[in-house]
Amino acid sequence: MFHRHDTRPSRPHGWRSSSAILLALLALILAACSGNTTSSGAAASGGGGEAGAGFEAPTEDVALILWNPFTGPDGPFFEEIVTEFNDATPTCQVEVATQPGAEYIGKLEAAATANELPHVIAAGYDALPGLVENGIVAPIDDFAAQGGYGPELFPEAIWNAGEWKGQRVGIPLDTHPMVFFYNKALFTEAGLDPEAPPADRESFEAAITAISENTDADGYQMVSSGPGANFLVGIQWASLFYQGGGEWTNADRTEVTINSEAGVQAAEYLASLVNDLDVPTVESDAEVLAFAGGQNGMVMSGIWETTRYNEALGEDLGVAPVPEIFGPGTWGGSHNLAVTSRGVEDDNTKACAYYFIDWFSQNSLQWGAAGQIPARNSVRESDEFKNASGEGLLPFIAKMAPLAEAVQFLPTIPGSGDILFVGSGAGEAATLVIGGSDAQEVLDAAAEANTEVLVQNKERYGF
C-alpha cells in the first residue's frame, strides 16, 4: 500500500509490512464495498520519438536485471512498461525484481559482496550518493552527454537531485510530493465550496474550524505518536520549512540549520493547530485511515496515498497543492534510474542499460498512472497526460503535475534523508513540539546532533 521506501529509511520494516497487510485487507474490503475497480493502464503510452535521443539497442542479445523498490500498487505499472519495452526491443531484455523498500540498500550491499548486482536500479535520489561511494552505482556522465540530457528536459530541482560530486549518477523518473487531500462531501456539509480548496493559512484554518463545528468529522488530525510519526510529521514540517525559506545546511555543508527561524516557525505552526484550533492528536496512519473513512476532512499525505483515497472516497476526493501557509514550497521525493557498476562492465550491457533508461524516460506517461508525477517535461506537457480522463489515477496526477516545479529536495549528500526522518532528526523534533516541547530547544538539539553526523560524513566521503 505504501511506498515511502526511498525517503523513509528510518521506519522499521516489520511494522510497515505488517501494517501494509492490514491496510491491504482494508483496501480490499473497501474496494469490494464500493464495487468499482480502477482500470489499470488503459492508455498505452505512444512511443517517444523525441529529438536528441542518441541511443540504439545493442546488436547482440543482452539480458538486464533491474531492481526496484515498488512493492506497492505501482509495481505492476512498472512491469507493464518494461514488458512493452521488451516486446519492442528483442535484443535488449529487462527482467524486473522488486525488493522490499526498507531492506533495499542492505540487499544491494549484499548483492555487491556476492558479485550479483543487478545492472539497473530504481532508487530514491537521496540513496544515490551512498551507493556511488560504496561502488554500487556508477556515474553516467556519458549518458547525459550522449542523450542530450540536462536541466532543460526536467524541472531543475529534480534534475539537480541526481547529481553527486559534480557527476551525473541518476536519471530522474518521477517526483512524489506531499499533496493536500480533502473530502468534497464534508466541505459541502460544512458550508465550504468543494471546488475551492484552501490555498493559504487563513482559508486552511477556516476550513478546519468549519468542518469540526458543522460536521461529525474532524477538520484535520495531527499525528503525534506511533511508528510512522517521524515520517508523517516530518514531511509536513519539511513543507512548512521550505515555505518559510529554510535551508537544510549552510553553504559549505558543515552545519545543519534546521533550527533556523523557518524551522522553529514550522514546528510551532503544527503545534498551534493542536493547541489553538483543537485539532486532535492521533497515532501515525490513523489520520490516513480516518480520511479514507470520511471521519477526517483534510489530510496532507504523500501522493502515493491517492490510490487508497480514490478507492475509498471516489468522487468525493479532492486534491490540491499543499496550502501556502508561509509561501510556496512542498516536500517531495524523486525516484531515479541508475546504472550499477556491473551494468557498465561491458559495452553491450551498457548500451542496453542506456537504451532502456532513455526509452523508459520517454515513455514514463504510464508511470503517472501508477501514482507518481513523471519527471520528464515532455511527458507532463503531452496532451495525453494533460487531458487524461477516466477512472485511473492519471487525471489526479495530471491535476497535481504543476507540483513538479514547486517540489524541493534535501541536499544530495550521503545520509541527507536522516536529517529529516531518523531518530534525532527534524521529524522527531517536530513530533516532540506537537507533544508540548519547546520548538527552539528540541530543534537546537536535533541540529547539533545532525551536525555531528554531517561533519563525520563530510570527513568520510569528502564533499
- The pair phi, psi for residue 21, each rounded to 5°, is -60, -45
CB of 444 to another protein, least distance (A): 10
Binders of another protein in range 112-131 (CB under 8 A): 112-113
418 lines the binding site for another protein (CB under 8 A): yes
CB of 404 to another protein, least distance (A): 27
Binders of another protein in range 263-292 (CB under 8 A): 281-286, 289-290
Binds another protein by CB under 8 A, chosen from 38, 146, 188, 225: 225
Binds another protein by CB under 8 A, chosen from 22, 25, 29, 33: 22
End-to-end CA distance of the chain: 36
DSSP state of 345: S
- The three-state DSSP-derived secondary structure of 32-72 is HHHCCCCCCCCCCCCCCCCCCCCCCCCCCCEEEEEEECCCC
| Residues contacting residue 287 through CB under 8 Å, at least 6 positions apart | 221, 222, 223, 232, 296, 299
Q: Which stretch binds another protein (CB under 8 A): 110-118, 298-306, 319-327, 349-357?
A: 110-118
Distances (CA, A) of 26 to 61, 217, 228, 293: 44, 20, 18, 11
CB of 112 to another protein, least distance (A): 6
Closest by Cα among 232, 211, 223 to 294: 211
- The pair phi, psi for residue 294, each rounded to 5°, is 80, 15
CB of 270 to another protein, least distance (A): 13
C-alpha to C-alpha distance for 372 and 299, rounded to whole angstroms: 18
| Burial tier of 203 (Cβ tally within 10 Å: 0-12, 13-18, 19+) | middle
Q: Which stretch binds another protein (CB under 8 A): 82-90, 109-117, 331-339, 378-386?
A: 109-117
C-alpha to C-alpha distance for 356 and 171, rounded to whole angstroms: 12
User: Rounded to an integer, what is the distance from CA 353 to the centroid of its chain?
Assistant: 24
| Number of residues located near another protein, criterion CB under 8 A | 54
Binding mask 423-442 for another protein (x = CB under 8 A): xx---x--xx--x-x----x
E strand or H helix that includes residue 369 = helix 365-369
Binding mask 23-62 for another protein (x = CB under 8 A): ----------------------------------------
Binding mask 1-20 for another protein (x = CB under 8 A): --------xxxxxxx--x--
Q: Maximum Cα–Cα distance for the chain, whole Å?
A: 68
Helices 439-461, 261-277: crossing angle, 10 deg rounding: 140
Tell me whether residue 135 or residue 390 sits nearer to another protein (CB atom): 135
Binds another protein by CB under 8 A, chosen from 25, 152, 276, 460: 460
Binders of another protein in range 439-458 (CB under 8 A): 442, 445, 448-449, 452-453
CB of 8 to another protein, least distance (A): 9
Q: Which stretch binds another protein (CB under 8 A): 180-188, 220-228, 322-330, 376-384?
A: 220-228
Closest by Cα among 280, 248, 283 to 262: 248
Tell me whether residue 386 or residue 460 sits nearer to another protein (CB atom): 460
Beta strands at 167-168 and 163-164: parallel, antiparallel or unpaired: antiparallel
Tell me whether residue 338 or residue 388 sits nearer to another protein (CB atom): 338
CB of 296 to another protein, least distance (A): 11
Binds another protein by CB under 8 A, chosen from 47, 52, 106, 402: 106
Tell me whether residue 5 or residue 184 sits nearer to another protein (CB atom): 5
Q: Which stretch binds another protein (CB under 8 A): 44-52, 267-275, 349-357, 412-420?
A: 412-420
Binders of another protein in range 349-388 (CB under 8 A): none
C-alpha to C-alpha distance for 321 and 324, rounded to whole angstroms: 8
C-alpha to C-alpha distance for 415 and 422, rounded to whole angstroms: 10
Site residues, another protein (CB under 8 A): 9-15, 18, 21-22, 102, 105-106, 109-110, 112-113, 134-136, 224-230, 281-286, 289-290, 415, 417-418, 421-424, 428, 431-432, 435, 437, 442, 445, 448-449, 452-453, 460
